[in-house]
Amino acid sequence: MRQLVLIIIFITHSFAIDATIEVVKKFSNIPIIAIEDGSIGVNSFHNSEEFYKLLIGDLKVSSHFRVHKSNLYMKSDFESTPKFIDYKNSNVDLLLKYRAFIDESHILIVETKLYDINSNILAYQKVYTSKKDEKYPFVAHKVSIDVNSYLKAPSIDWMQKFIVFAKYVNSKESEVIVADYTLSYQKTVVKGGLNIFPKWANSIQDELYYTSYLKRPTLFKLNIYTGKKEKIAESDGMLVCSDVSKDGNEILLTMAPSGQPDIYLFNTKTKKKKRVTKYSGIDVNGNFLDGSNRITFISDRLGYPNIFAKDIDKSGVEQLVYHGKNNNSCSAYENYIVYTSRESDNEFEPKTFNLYMISTKSDFIRRLTTIGLNQFPKFSEDGESILFIKQYKNESALGIIRLNYNKSYLFPLKVGKLQSIDW
């Protein structure tokens, strides 16, 4: 629909703190979309304006749209036909109108119409429903996904995914929370005690693993819909599920039954575990790489945390990163690895951990952030976005990096401090 060109731009975003100068891929003429809220009447959805803001945010985060008068809340009659000529004169390409209300059965109904201004047509009209109105952020995300699909732009289906995170609420007390990527929807699924390192157990996101510190660190598996909880394993020292195979049949655990942590492969069907690393120091944070026969992990074999790889069934270890002196977390997608690296060794300077991305098949290295503490990076399912935690000026936020567009966005956590995160 629009020709792609390479341009050099200085990126500064209202949601982001990072600013970098890079050569990036960008639409030469990104379509402009206008949004209008037609929710009028006694049953109008009370969060209709928040719904509006979410739509604007989604379309901006997609990087495929510019929003017309995005700083204004625009209302209109949902049934009226738009004045195409007025929108054309304002260079608007698309108009999205919606009407949100609660029906007699207390179900949220969102009716939408998308107009193609350039073609003078109603492109489509769709109706969305949600039995629980507090889940309206996911309805907004679905509306945005469908508008994006109309353009045949690269998929943003990841917006429909749940985020799961742990947050500290008091000393030695943390909760596990399921949310949307903007943190507008949040539901606490585990509370009471120290509950950390949640990890989705499968792609449909109905079950998750998390570690609870009881008498010994204990790994549980929880169904977020039924509340059914299953004890998976326990260990002295530490116990964390760091990755899950695509079929869900194997998980990578960090365990320290004898004092020093190592990586173990645990079969969820047979309940048998296999020790993958056998080092006298620290091996943690295993991630599957290039399928399920090879892993990346963090180790202090060089005297400081760095990133290594090895075949599960072989003893040889390969160093992957030759940059930085404190690389303490990573995530893998196919042959790409995103990792955290400490930038300053001066104890009197503010701690800065930045994110970098490398390829295992080349000398490629790319810096993704510039300031603050950026940790726990996670690739999206399609590998085109990265989720991470940013701590900056006493604020804890969820970050999203759109790799193909060199854009990043922050969504602050209003209460508590993020401990770990997954999607």
Full set of structural domains in the chain with CATH: 32-150 (3.40.50.10070), 161-422 (2.120.10.30)
pLDDT (tens digit per residue) in 167-199: 999 888 999 999 999 999 999 999 999 999 999
pLDDT band at 348 (very low <50, low <70, confident <90, very high): low
Mean pLDDT across 102-115: 95
Q: Would you give the DSSP letter of residue 143?
A: H
Mean pLDDT across 391-420: 92
Residues linked to residue 44 through DSSP beta bridges, in sequence order: 101
Give the span between the Cα atoms of 166 and 197, in whole angstroms: 7
pLDDT band at 158 (very low <50, low <70, confident <90, very high): very high
pLDDT (tens digit per residue) in 284-306: 999 998 777 899 999 999 999 99
In Å, how far are 34, 84, 86, 87, 416 from 90, measured between CA atoms? 10, 10, 6, 5, 43
* C-alpha angle 235-240-242 in degrees, rounded to nearest 5: 145
Q: Please say if the pLDDT value at position 14 is more than 80.
A: no
pLDDT of residue 335: 83
Give the span between the Cα atoms of 371 and 395, in whole angstroms: 13
pLDDT band at 1 (very low <50, low <70, confident <90, very high): very low
pLDDT of residue 22: 32
Cβ atoms of 174 and 147 within 8 Å: the answer is no
Token pair for residue 129?
């429903």
pLDDT (tens digit per residue) in 242-255: 999 989 999 999 99
Nearest to 366 by CA among 339, 385, 328, 327: 339
Cβ atoms of 339 and 330 within 8 Å: the answer is yes
Residues 377-406 as b or e (16 or more Cβ within 10 Å = b)? bbbbeeebbbbbbbbbeeebbbbbbbbebb
In Å, how far are 68, 80, 105, 121 from 331, measured between CA atoms? 37, 49, 44, 45
In Å, how far are 267, 269, 275 from 272, measured between CA atoms? 5, 8, 10
Mean pLDDT across 322-333: 88
User: DSSP string covering 352-386, please?
Assistant: -EEEEEEETTSS-EEE---SSEEEEEEE-TTSSEE
Cβ atoms of 149 and 123 within 8 Å: the answer is no
Residues linked to residue 263 through DSSP beta bridges, in sequence order: 254
Give the span between the Cα atoms of 381 and 181, in whole angstroms: 14
Q: Please say if the pLDDT value at position 122 is more than 70.
A: yes
Residues linked to residue 100 through DSSP beta bridges, in sequence order: 110
88 backbone φψ class: left, alpha, beta (φ>0; ψ -120 to 50): alpha
pLDDT of residue 101: 95
- In the block, tokens 């949600």 appear at 130
Q: Considering the chain, what percentage of its residues have pLDDT values greater than 70?
A: 91
pLDDT of residue 298: 96
Nearest to 390 by CA among 363, 423, 417: 417
pLDDT (tens digit per residue) in 271-281: 999 999 999 89
Cβ atoms of 419 and 196 within 8 Å: the answer is yes
Side by side, the strands of the sheet bearing 417-422 are: 186-190, 173-179, 163-170, 417-422
Residues linked to residue 398 through DSSP beta bridges, in sequence order: 389, 411
When the pLDDT of each residue in the chain is averaged and rounded to a whole number, the result is 89
pLDDT band at 135 (very low <50, low <70, confident <90, very high): very high
Phi, psi torsion values for 370, nearest 5 degrees = -130, -30
- One-letter amino acid of 243: D
Give the span between the Cα atoms of 197 and 212, in whole angstroms: 9
pLDDT band at 351 (very low <50, low <70, confident <90, very high): confident
Token pair for residue 370?
């510039």
Token pair for residue 187?
């539901």
pLDDT of residue 292: 74
Phi, psi torsion values for 147, nearest 5 degrees = -65, -45
Q: Please say if the pLDDT value at position 76 is more than 90.
A: yes
Q: Please say if the pLDDT value at position 133 is more than 70.
A: yes
DSSP H helices in 229-302: none
pLDDT of residue 245: 93
More confident residue, 360 or 63: 63
Q: Which of 71-75, 115-119, 291-295 has the highest mean pLDDT?
A: 115-119
Q: Please say if the pLDDT value at position 6 is more than 80.
A: no
